[in-house]
Structure 1
Amino acid sequence: MPSSTPQHFMDRVAIVTGAGSGIGRATAVALAESGARVLGVGRRKEALEETARAHSNIAVLPLDVCEEGAADTVVTTAVEWWGRIDVLVNNAGVTAVMPLAETDRSVITRLFEVNVTAPSMLAHAALPYLRDSSGSVVNVSSTYGHRPLAQGAHYAATKSALEQLTRSWALELAPEGVRVNAIAPGPTETDVLSAAGLPQDAIDAMLSHERDRIPTGRLGDPQDVAAWILRIADPSGPYLTGQVLTIDGGLELV
């Protein structure tokens, strides 16, 4: 039976990092349902395989995007399998609760490696193919990329850097037909906090606090974010570039 989902990405190829769960998994599935061939990338092999089982158009590549040469491996794999790249979704990211009084150099380094350096190297490696396809890059930032976050200043700083990369790359690459935009989710139901090593009671308290502040009265769902990633990556929107779209249920307003 034919899919009822509009096939806006038919014959397109997309790379999605952090595809093992949360926003990355939702985005990989949504792109596949829209006709794209998707390469899902992440560190956790079993989680990626679960993502791949959701749709036959998803293939996976387990690796750490921060490893030396990882970006070239990702891009080469996608091109060898499908011959092109149309969309790069830089979704992989890490967070950390780290008050200034507890600043740890290794934590700062890891935050910037994952949230800033890895997306930069992936965009660099994919650029020749994005030029050929008039493709697009979607960077996944955070509402805290442009608002303060007590006890999370360095995480917020990495997302602020990613938003500035988005705008600067968009300006640089517009004459070549490559679009660059970002999505900035608010608090979303994902496993990013548990991956940061926080105990469940602390996670529950943080999410409850955030939920109470969100005007729409709920946390985000990964599908909420994935839907907008597809909209701004859609090849039928060639005039949209350099934008950071915040999806946070109105949290930015309070």
Structure 2
Amino acid sequence: MANKVALVTGAARGIGLATVNLMLARGWQVAMLDRDAPELDKAARGLDDAMPFFCDVSSEEQVAETIPAILGRFGRLDAVVNNAGVAEFGPIEQTDFAMWRRVMDTNLDGVFLVTQAAIPALKDTRGSIVNIASISGLRASTLRVAYGTSKAAVIQLTRQQAAELGEYGIRANCVCPGPVRTKLAMAVHTQEIIDAYHDAIPLNRYGSEIEIAEVIAFLCSDQASYVTGQIIASDGGFESTGVGLPALRS
């Protein structure tokens, strides 16, 4: 992996930063993208073989400037991890168009823009794309009309990428995390919510950031060389259970 290069968006925290650290540990070089410049610089401090790039992935101009800068620094690009996302929740009748656009700009447009800009470099390396969607893109839930729809669209975009880019040897896959024990989630989830998730998840727990990163790293690796167009829920079985399981389990 000494010469392989991964681009990770939303790299300043959470699943993105966990993915950066895991890829580095496995010998990759990593371009870290985020629009939170202070947090990005802090996250990248002391990381050998990683370089931060300030970039708002919803901005076509910034993406167009950043991809050449990454290639200028590293000389190649072997994997793109589209992890950057925003989460804004609210009842469907209270979701105005401004909120809808904020969510779509980053969660969907950002995935499209970064991948489009990276395709020529990925052709050269027969590289891989890993898009991060959500369990909310696989099953509907309250308060997530914009978020869930954006993630469902990322799932379909992944399939399109796999179908159209396979002839160049480029693989495209999608990871759908379930509830993950991030600092933000633990700060906003009440005990009642935590208990409800535990009841609904067959593994009876939240996932961890590193558990999601492990799946991402696998899909970027040569071990997944014949895996493309796949939608993988890393969710403790949450998506598979449908309805009724909590009551039956008692």
The alignment's TM-score, normalised by the length of structure 1, stands at 0.89
- Tell me the residue number matched to 1:81: 73
* 1:94 and 2:86 are equivalent in the alignment: yes
Amino acid of the residue matched to residue 34 of structure 1? R
- Tell me the residue number matched to 1:250: 237
**Superposed CA offset, 1:81-134 (max 9, x none):** 011111000000011212112121101001111011111010000000000000
Amino acid of the residue matched to residue 21 of structure 2? V
Percent of paired sites with the same residue: 32
**Alignment partner of 1:57 out of 49, 53, 56:** 49
- Tell me the residue number matched to 1:233: 220
How many equivalent pairs are there? Answer: 241
Structure 1 runs not aligned, ≥5 long: 1-8, 195-199
Distance 1:85 1:180, change over 3 A: same
Q: Distance in 2 between matches of 1:193 and 1:106?
A: 24
Amino acid of the residue matched to residue 20 of structure 1? A
**CA RMSD of superposed structures (Å):** 1.7
Shift of 1:206: 3.6
Shift of 1:20: 0.7
- Tell me the residue number matched to 2:127: 135
Distance 1:170 1:192, change over 3 A: farther
3-state SS in 1 of match to 2:174: strand
Shift of 1:203: 5.6
Do the aligned partners of 1:21 and 1:190 also contact (CA within 8 Å) in 2? Answer: no
Q: Distance in 2 between matches of 1:43 and 1:208?
A: 34
3-state SS in 2 of match to 1:69: helix
Q: Distance in 2 between matches of 1:68 and 1:192?
A: 28
Q: Residues 3-152 of structure 1: matches in 2 within 5 Å?
A: 9-53=1-45, 55-152=47-144
- Tell me the residue number matched to 2:245: none
- Tell me the residue number matched to 1:6: none
* 1:185 and 2:172 are equivalent in the alignment: no
* 1:154 and 2:151 are equivalent in the alignment: no
Q: Distance in 2 between matches of 1:216 and 1:140?
A: 21
Q: Residues 188-199 of structure 1: matches in 2 within 5 Å?
A: 188-191=180-183
The alignment's TM-score, normalised by the length of structure 2, stands at 0.91
Q: Which runs of 4+ in 1 moved over 3 A?
A: 191-194, 200-208
* 1:224 and 2:216 are equivalent in the alignment: no
